[in-house]
């Protein structure tokens, strides 16, 4: 595009030329985009980062969040506003899109130290050993329940941080979407910025080729075999289709196994829609029924009975159909077996 900015370092130079330039003294303080270790640990001097393909097209504010982990957003926006952050020696806005070859000036910023991840958990290693789908562009794994997808308050390392340690050969690895910590099943990781952007557009938009199916156990007998739910989530429109698979248990403890087709992707959508029709998800400690959850524990349910069982979409690069299926975890199968036994 003729309107795009061009860095003074951009042009016909090859990756080899750029790599050789970095050995020169005047370039030794530059690191690749997204991998500036000095910046993320809290440097006392100015750093210069040269943007590579992993950060191409990323907003400046989001790039800085990754560079200065542990720094409040208010600080990030303040150093941008005051001009302490520069792109190709000029001021830039938070929404500025970075390009390969851009040089970003990072000012000294005090950050919280991030503890090193000793090694990935056995759950992460197992998921990586048996991926549901993988090629050079993306990876789909079967996320176990109880594992947060990323670090946060009280969580030193999530799945994505551990994955990067387990797969150091990946130059880029980012979550294309999220699953709740208690939810298991299909999870997509993008291996490049362009693939991530394409997947975001598909997952958040109205792509008719996208299919997201969850398996859930709901309180009681839902009655109708198919129900369309249009209850808003927050202030946003949301739509799900609930399809009854079978009713399990007896009059003392009854539940419905359903398939939930999420036509939109709102936070906690399946759980909120289940609650809205009076049949909350078993094991849901936020939108569920405490008495029902206590009863479900007697048949072995110790987690949320919600599983992302199928993802189907057009490949962001080849446009070929990608279908990933995650089998129901054994512990959830045993819960169904226990309820069937009680009904005999």
Compute the half-sphere exposure of residue 250: CA atoms within 13 Å on the CB side of its CA: 8
CA 219/CA 293 separation, integer angstroms: 9
- The whole-angstrom separation of Cα 49 and Cα 39 is 9
Query: Which residues are marked as active site?
Result: 180
Q: Are 305 and 164 in contact (CB under 8 A)?
A: no
The helix-helix angle for 159-166 and 122-129 (nearest 10°) equals: 70
For the stretch 200-206, contacts whose Cβ atoms lie closer than 8 Å and that sit 24 or more positions apart, written own/partner, are 200/176, 202/313, 202/314, 202/316, 203/176, 203/177, 203/265, 203/313, 204/265
Q: First-to-last CA distance in the chain?
A: 68
């Amino acid at each position: 595009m003729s309107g795009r900015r061009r860095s003074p370092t951009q042009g016909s130079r090859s990756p080899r030329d750029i790599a050789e330039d970095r050995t020169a003294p005047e370039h030794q303080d530059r690191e690749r985009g997204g991998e500036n270790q000095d910046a993320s640990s809290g440097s006392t001097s100015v750093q210069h980062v040269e943007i590579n393909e992993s950060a191409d097209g990323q907003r400046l504010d989001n790039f800085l969040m990754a560079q200065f982990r542990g720094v409040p957003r208010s600080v990030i926006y303040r150093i941008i506003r005051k001009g302490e952050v520069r792109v190709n020696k000029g001021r830039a806005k938070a929404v500025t899109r970075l390009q390969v070859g851009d040089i970003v000036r990072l000012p000294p910023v005090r950050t919280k130290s991030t503890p090193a991840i000793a090694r990935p958990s056995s759950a992460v290693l197992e998921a990586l050993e048996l991926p549901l789908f993988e090629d050079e562009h993306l990876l789909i794994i079967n996320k176990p329940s109880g594992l947060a997808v990323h670090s946060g308050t009280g969580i030193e390392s999530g799945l994505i941080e551990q994955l990067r340690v387990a797969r150091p050969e990946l130059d880029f690895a980012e979550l294309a979407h999220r699953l709740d910590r208690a939810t298991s099943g299909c999870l997509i990781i993008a291996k490049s910025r362009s693939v991530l952007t394409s997947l975001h557009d598909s997952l958040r938009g109205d792509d008719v080729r996208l299919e997201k199916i969850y398996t859930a156990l709901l309180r009681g007998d839902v009655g109708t075999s198919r129900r369309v739910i249009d209850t808003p989530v927050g202030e946003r429109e949301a739509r799900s289709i609930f399809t009854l698979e079978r009713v399990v248990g007896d009059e003392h403890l009854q539940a419905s196994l359903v398939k939930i087709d999420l036509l939109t992707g709102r936070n906690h959508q399946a759980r909120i829609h289940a609650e809205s029709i009076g049949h909350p998800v078993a094991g849901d400690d936020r939108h569920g029924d405490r008495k029902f959850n206590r009863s479900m524990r007697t048949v072995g349910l110790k987690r949320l009975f919600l599983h992302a069982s199928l993802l189907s979409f057009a490949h962001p690069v080849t446009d070929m159909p990608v279908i990933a299926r995650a089998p129901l975890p054994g512990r959830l199968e045993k819960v169904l077996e226990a309820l069937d036994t009680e009904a005999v």
